[in-house]
């Protein structure tokens, strides 16, 4: 019989041999998941002997990963901005790139006094809206997506992070006119689908074969959602409200131009950790708000 540590080392070696970049962390996550433990609990018990059932279960998880399935979908959980999240194949796996969107939104709200209502449009797992709620105690967040199965995940994450009083979820399609019941917002944050339709098949298999196409496909040029949100959803903005988009590689200039064409000014672009223009923000002109 082998210890948990021996099986973890074996899993680590298999993932490394397969060329998986984050083999160390992924081995930890899979080994803990197979044991039904947190990572802290798993490391506490590493010197203990496991069981044949555990060895079998871990082997099944490793095989799924080697076939290309992302570790987040295998374990059913991920972390974003220090928050635990439930994930499944109905939603995109939160990326570190998206933390730039959360950073900029949090900073802007804090500089403006720290309160207000925020709309997280195309919310997916709810990662951005929940990050804002966790770091801005005086705000209220509404998270919107067009798919009921996606909203089920975001609602589960609202409860997981104990935010049902300040964060709500509602059905809405970013490609259509917003529902009239939503009211006005002091900020809209949006990480929409932005992969050009023709590029999806060229993505890594862990993305194209497992992550939801609806959350990837941004239309022919990848900009379909930016046009719709900038033109149709701006009516929900009030005062010095800010619209904040995440965008794909090479899209920032086009997104900024779309915003200008729809009456936004004071447009700013922010880079991610790889020096890629990742977030574009702007404020609606006064004449647009009043007219």
The CATH number of the domain where 16 resides is what?
1.10.8
Residue 72 lies in a domain: no
258 & 140 share domain: yes
Q: How far is Cα 179 from Cα 173, in angstroms, rounded to an integer?
A: 9
Same domain, 16 and 96: no
Last residue of a domain, one of 15, 37, 67: 67
Edge-to-edge strands, sheet with 167-171: 167-171, 138-145, 115-121, 185-190, 237-246, 277-284, 264-271
Residue 177 domain-assigned (yes or no): yes
Neighbours of 290 (CB within 10 A): 7
- Do 113 and 27 lie in one domain? The reply is no
Considering the domain boundaries, does residue 77 fall inside one? no
Co-location of 180 and 61 in the same domain: no
**Any domain includes 62:** yes
Residue range 147-184, pLDDT digits in tens: 999 999 999 999 999 999 999 999 999 999 998 889 99
Please state, in angstroms and rounded to a whole number, the distance separating the CA atoms of residues 3 and 219. Answer: 50
Number of domains composing the chain: 2
Tokens of residue 190, six digits? 């949006």
Q: Do 188 and 262 lie in a common domain?
A: yes
Calculate the CA 283 to chain-centre distance.
23
**Would you place residue 289 in the very low, low, confident or very high pLDDT band (cuts 50, 70, 90)?**
low
Residues 62 and 172 in one domain: no
Short-list 172, 154, 226, 173, CA closest to 195: 226
Check whether residue 95 and residue 43 sit in a common domain. no
Specify whether 93 is located in the same domain as 227: yes
Domain that holds residue 43: 4-67
Name 79's bridge partners.
84
For residues 162 and 235, membership in a common domain is answered with yes
- How far apart CA 52 and CA 61 sit, in angstroms, is 14
Is residue 16 in some structural domain? yes
Residues 243 and 100 in one domain: yes
pLDDT for residue 291 is more than 70: no
What's the CATH code of the domain at 160? 3.40.50.150
Q: Round the average pLDDT of the chain to a whole number and report it.
A: 95
Q: Rounded to the nearest 5 degrees, what angle is found at the Cα of 283, between the Cα atoms of 81 and 92?
A: 35
Q: What is the pTM of this model?
A: 0.93
Quick: pLDDT tens for 12-68: 999 999 999 999 999 999 999 999 999 999 999 999 999 999 999 999 999 999 999
Based on the domain organization, do 104 and 49 belong to the same domain?
no
């Amino acid at each position: 019989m082998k210890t948990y540590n021996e099986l973890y080392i074996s899993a680590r070696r298999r993932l490394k041999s397969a060329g998986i970049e984050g083999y160390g962390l992924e081995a930890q996550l899979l080994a803990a998941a197979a044991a039904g433990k947190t990572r802290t609990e798993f490391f506490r018990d590493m010197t203990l002997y496991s069981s044949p059932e555990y060895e079998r279960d871990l082997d099944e998880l490793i095989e799924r990963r080697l076939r290309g399935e992302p570790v987040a979908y295998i374990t059913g959980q991920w972390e974003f901005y220090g928050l635990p999240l439930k994930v499944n194949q109905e939603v995109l796996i939160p990326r570190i790139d998206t933390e730039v969107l959360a950073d900029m939104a949090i900073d802007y709200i804090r500089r403006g006094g720290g309160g207000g209502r925020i709309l997280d449009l195309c919310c997916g797992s709810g990662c951005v809206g929940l990050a804002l709620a966790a770091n801005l105690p005086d705000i209220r967040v509404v998270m919107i997506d067009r798919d009921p199965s996606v909203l089920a995940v975001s609602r589960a994450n609202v409860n997981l992070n104990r935010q049902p009083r300040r964060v709500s979820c509602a059905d809405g399609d970013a490609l259509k006119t917003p529902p009239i019941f939503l009211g006005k917002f002091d900020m809209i944050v949006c990480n929409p689908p932005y992969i050009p339709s023709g590029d999806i098949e060229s993505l890594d298999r862990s993305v194209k074969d497992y992550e939801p196409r609806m959350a990837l496909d941004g239309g022919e040029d990848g900009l379909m959602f930016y046009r719709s949100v900038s033109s149709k959803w701006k009516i929900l903005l009030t005062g010095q409200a800010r619209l904040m988009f995440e965008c794909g590689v090479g899209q920032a200039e086009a997104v900024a131009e779309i915003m200008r064409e729809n009456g936004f000014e004071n447009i700013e672009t922010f880079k991610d950790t790889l020096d890629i223009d990742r977030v574009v923000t702007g404020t609606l002109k006064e004449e647009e708000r009043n007219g």
